[in-house]
Amino acid sequence: MLRHPSRRRGHDTVTDEFAYDALPMRVIFGVGAVHRLAEETRRLGIRRAVVLATPGQAGLAEQARGLLGGIAAGSFVQARMHVPAHTVVEAGQAATQLGADGCVAIGGGSTIGLAKALALRHGLPAVAVPTTYAGSEMTPIWGITDNARKQTGRDRAVLPRTVIYDPELTRTLPVHVSGTSGLNAIAHAMEALYAPDASPVISALAERGIRDLVRALPAIKADHTDITARSTALEGAWLCGACLGATTMGLHHKLCHVLGGRLGLPHAETHAVMLPHVAAFNLTAAPAARDALRRALATVSPARALAELAVRLGTPRTLKDLGVTGPALPGVIDEVLAHPYANPHPLNRESLRALLQNALDGSAI
């Protein structure tokens, strides 16, 4: 009988047998790439595109409309954090009134999340133009928040058909947003390293993406206009997002989804706070992931290195910094345990309480 060769490494089994599904999307990357927006939109057969953005990025929406020319049907600039259900309804009504047969999402995770919701509910194909390092554009994961509960799912129908990465569009991204957004991206790759459906392809992308971001983010902190650092960070975020799109999410994302949806916390800042604490919790049960992070971060203690990186970047360090109080934690724990994600470290109420308390107080790692 033929056997697939495998070998043990700590608690991980590394085997020559794995599955890897490449996600069907087109990527355009480069300084000035946004000027190909009309060409790429036409390429998809979109004749009337509604431009999506947040209120704070209405200027970017106008820029996109100008580049689209006659393809632009109008704008909806009310995208919101965590994709509220009522916003999805309003955006769908606007798209219908405009006669839109597709959309262009320009901005961060909130805007791209709205485009995904429109694809899910109305079948509108999307072109994504990311301006942060959120990585949502590379995943089939959607999320819609209703009554303080964030529902998430996976569906390839929500994938943007084309993603245009232009580092120039990130030059004006504030330093603190760059830092939290970059740590958010690193969290995507970290979870991919210990996901039950990880593969050598994804592990290689994850390690490279983390290394790029760790190198680029301090350089952006020193000079937010550094186009080389911006390009490196955006490429790293692309790779990290692709890792999240191809694997199963774990405890880190479950906690952030519950904290964000239940307490209305800012998405990237929540990821930045939770990242080192979840790393400290999970990596003892995932030696291969720990070793990859050691290489990417050039350290023997990945969790501590991630905490120190957050200090260097000046991002929020504790859940208290985000306005969370102790009485909110039991409800978060209940929701996480009610529908847990796959995770290398076993979960129970006491271990989750300790993890969240450490994140609340900013306890040393």
Tokens standing for residue 214? 């760790």
Which domains occur in the chain, in start order?
26-170 (3.40.50.1970), 175-361 (1.20.1090.10)
pLDDT at 265: 95
- Full strand arrangement of the beta sheet holding 72-76: 26-29, 162-165, 126-130, 102-107, 49-52, 72-76
% of the chain residues with pLDDT over 70: 96
Residues of the chain with pLDDT under 50: 1-11, 13-14
Predicted local confidence at residue 16, as pLDDT: 63
Q: What is the pTM of this model?
A: 0.89
* CA contacts within 13 A on the Cβ side of 119: 27
Q: How high is the pLDDT of residue 4?
A: 36
Cα–Cα distance between 205 and 193 in angstroms, integer?
10
pLDDT digits (tens, 9 = 90+) for 160-177: 999 999 999 999 999 999
CA dihedral angle for residue 114, residue 119, residue 124, residue 126, rounded to 10 degrees: 60
**pLDDT tens digits for range 3-49:** 333 333 444 544 567 887 777 889 999 999 999 999 999 999 999 99
Find the DSSP H helices in the chain. Answer: 37-43, 58-68, 85-98, 109-122, 175-193, 200-222, 227-246, 251-263, 267-282, 287-297, 302-313, 329-338, 349-361
